[in-house]
Structure 1
């Protein structure tokens, strides 16, 4: 990689993924706690996973399976497919912030590419700045969840690898919940079978 001419990330496509099939529970409002509201100005949680491409890698098949698995995972974690919403309280004296799971296009899914290798990412002592572009909601704050998806997954194809960048609204999930979601997503992706029960602890949405 030439430092004087760094490559740029090329964004190819975007779409939104919703839980399939839908459930009555996923149509309810999810109200947030006082602690959740206290972190409106904090940033989204961001985690990235870098994989080398196997010899028989097919991007089209990979994306299809990934989207299908995400849709099945969101059936258990349906608030991540929602949006934040603010409404005036019944007494007219205050406001309530909640997750609106029904009036939302879903979780955001982005495909991008960059002319880099896995070695370009792993070799430097510090993480290259371009990695920030591997996250769709980089530098977003939780309040942005009123207009942005609460969960976004960006798939960035490298010449010999794939980077999965996860951005998740911190008001909706803490670190433990994030890894529970990710482990469930991974398990469903590997089995590609929604008939099998998921092994991680089921999320609890009633507070």
Structure 2
């Protein structure tokens, strides 16, 4: 596997099939979006197995996906745009916005790799080559001034297909909650599925909510108390995250703007859990049947990051992606109490 590498077969850009008048207008960001420009692109993808007797023609598959993407972008045109920054001297100001002008569109890549699905799934740790299944490696949202905001990479394995997508958080929020071509069953290119869940999320939902439980409670104190006490602290944090709290943040940010740095918000000894059980990742089948694994790329990973997805088999099962430093992972894997639960 060490000698395997991803080879790019083709690379193109896809524009909206229908360019509406609305699609030519710039879109400006809220104070919630602007601090996020230094975060990595969101990178999520699905791995599918191809059976030997499956009637699969890669050229037809790619054409269908590109046609579907083009139709999708007609409805969610900001994902075909680029970021732009305009500076003014009098009065001094700087405006960042989604600019639809002179953009080649969303990027679409076809690549291959000389690996089998077992080469990806059997190792205890996710192989580093999986990072090459995604475009814009190590890019941050600000790079969307030059790079595509949405990129789809289809990678052929010997016995499977991997479909990876990436996009900045603020582009998703201002374009749509999910990217889907309703005219085909081909499907959700942005795999967080927010508009396809049942029941639908409310209209005022605009992204993952990160809550900070304030106070001086330590891990030791939590262990001494019941789990109900910890749950109550989380409940209080959610109840207090109301309209007043949100508007207060916006007002304070306007007075003293900042960009987000991971080190500000995440304790080195803490655990951060992302995603939601509502995001039906395995519900995105792309005409290939149910995927065998959900994988992510390089973006937004750090020691203590956990991403949770509904499990492939349903029934309340979960897929967990756990990111830890090698020494911490070794200790985690040797925890007999934990292993007795998950094995």
Q: Is the 8 A contact 1:153 1:165 kept in 2?
A: yes
SS at match of 1:190: coil
The residue number in structure 2 matching 1:52 is 49
Structure 1 residues 1-207: aligned runs within 5 Å: 1=1, 5-54=2-51, 55-89=54-88, 91-174=90-173, 177=176, 180-181=178-179, 184-185=180-181, 187-190=182-185, 200=196
Q: Where do 5+ consecutive residues of structure 1 fail to align?
A: 193-198
Runs of 4+ residues over 4 Å off in structure 1: none
| 1:13-33, Cα deviation, whole Å (9 max, x unpaired) | 100001111100100001111
Q: 2: CA distance between counterparts of 1:189 and 1:49?
A: 19
Alignment partners' CA distance in 2, 1:191 and 1:79: 20
Q: Distance in 1 between matches of 2:137 and 2:172?
A: 17
Computed over aligned residues only, the root mean square deviation of the Cα atoms, in angstroms, reads: 2.2
CA contact (8 A) 1:73 1:188 kept: no
Structure whose CA Rg is larger: 2
Does structure 1 conserve the Cα–Cα contact (< 8 Å) formed by 2:27 and 2:98? yes
CA-CA distance at 1:191 after TM superposition:
6.5
Alpha carbons 1:138, 1:167 under 8 Å: kept: no
Number of matched pairs: 188
The equivalent residue for 2:191 is none
Residues in 2 aligned to 1:17 and 1:154: alpha-carbon distance in whole angstroms: 12
SS at structure 1 position matched to 2:59: helix
- TM-score, normalised relative to structure 1: 0.84
Normalised to the residue count of structure 2, the TM-score between the two structures is 0.52
Q: Which structure carries more relative contact order (alpha carbon 8 Å, separation 6+)?
A: 1
Contact 1:19-1:72 at 8 Å conserved across structures: yes
Q: CA deviation at 1:12?
A: 1.1
In the TM superposition, residue 101 of structure 1 has moved relative to its aligned partner by 1.2
